[in-house]
Amino acid sequence: MTVWVALLRAVNLGARNKVPMAALRVALEKAGLPGARTLLQSGNVVVESELDVGPIIHSVLRDEFDVDQPVVVRSRDRLAEIVAANPFPAAARERPTLLRVTFLVDHPSAERVRPVEEHDDVRVLGREVYIDYRDRVHGNPVNTAMASRRLGLHGTERNWATVLKLAELATLL
């Protein structure tokens, strides 16, 4: 069985796209994904399955919660590779909530990656964008929205502390 980490985009942001995690776990079980675990309220699901979990979770979100947003999925092994590949290890140690990883829905083209990586605080590795926000997230011109727009791909961002917690949770299944 494969352990999957599903990252839900744009859920539980203020009053919109409300998805209670307990209700999501119940809905996922009914949809054939028993034993799903969630982390925080920001839409992080860890589940063990041989099924293609992305479309299942997307359908549950759309049909049960009226949320039609991308679901980004990585395997437990791929998440471990993402952690190991971190190009900003000092930021991970010193300011884990200011180091962020944007998980993209697809691979960006090389010609779109080059201008994004002109910023010293951004690295694109595969389908992930690592951003060291250094001193602030809000108001920072180098951010996930900028990177996603320039790459032409949707993504969902998690801070490094959450990435590590998800990697740990995935090892428990």
Tens digits of pLDDT across the chain (173 residues):
999 999 999 888 777 789 999 999 999 999 999 999 999 888 999 999 999 999 999 999 999 999 999 999 999 999 999 999 999 999 999 999 999 999 999 999 999 999 999 999 999 999 999 999 999 999 999 999 999 999 999 999 999 999 999 999 999 98
- Sequence-distant (≥ 6) Cβ neighbours of residue 5 within 8 angstroms: 44, 45, 46, 73, 74, 75, 76, 79, 166, 170
Q: Which helix (H) or strand (E) holds 56?
A: helix 53-65
Q: Which of 73, 70, 23 is nearest to 45 (CA)?
A: 73
Predicted local confidence at residue 86, as pLDDT: 98
Predicted local confidence at residue 6, as pLDDT: 98
Same domain, 34 and 10: yes
Same domain, 87 and 154: yes
Predicted local confidence at residue 15, as pLDDT: 74
Q: In whole angstroms, give the CA distance from residue 107 to residue 67.
A: 24
Same domain, 41 and 124: no
What percent of the chain is helix, strand and coil (3-state, nearest 5)? 40, 25, 40
CATH (domain of 17): 3.30.70.1280
Predicted local confidence at residue 173, as pLDDT: 87
Domain tally, the chain: 2
Tokens linked to 164 = 């590590």
Mark which of 32, 58, 75 sits at the end of a domain.
75
Same domain, 64 and 117: no
pTM of the model: 0.95
Tokens linked to 67 = 């949320």
Same domain, 6 and 47: yes
Same domain, 146 and 86: yes
Same domain, 122 and 44: no
Q: In whole angstroms, give the CA distance from residue 37 to residue 171.
A: 12
Mark which of 75, 105, 135 sits at the end of a domain.
75
Q: In whole angstroms, give the CA distance from residue 156 to residue 63.
A: 21
Residues 40, 44, 47, 51, Cα dihedral to 10°:
160
Predicted local confidence at residue 12, as pLDDT: 81
Same domain, 21 and 43: yes
Residue 43 belongs to what domain range?
A: 2-75
Query: Are residues 72 and 52 in contact, defined by beta-carbon separation less than 8 angstroms?
Result: no
Same domain, 128 and 114: yes
Same domain, 91 and 151: yes
Same domain, 99 and 42: no
- Sequence-distant (≥ 6) Cβ neighbours of residue 57 within 8 angstroms: 6, 8, 28, 33, 45, 71, 73
Same domain, 56 and 106: no
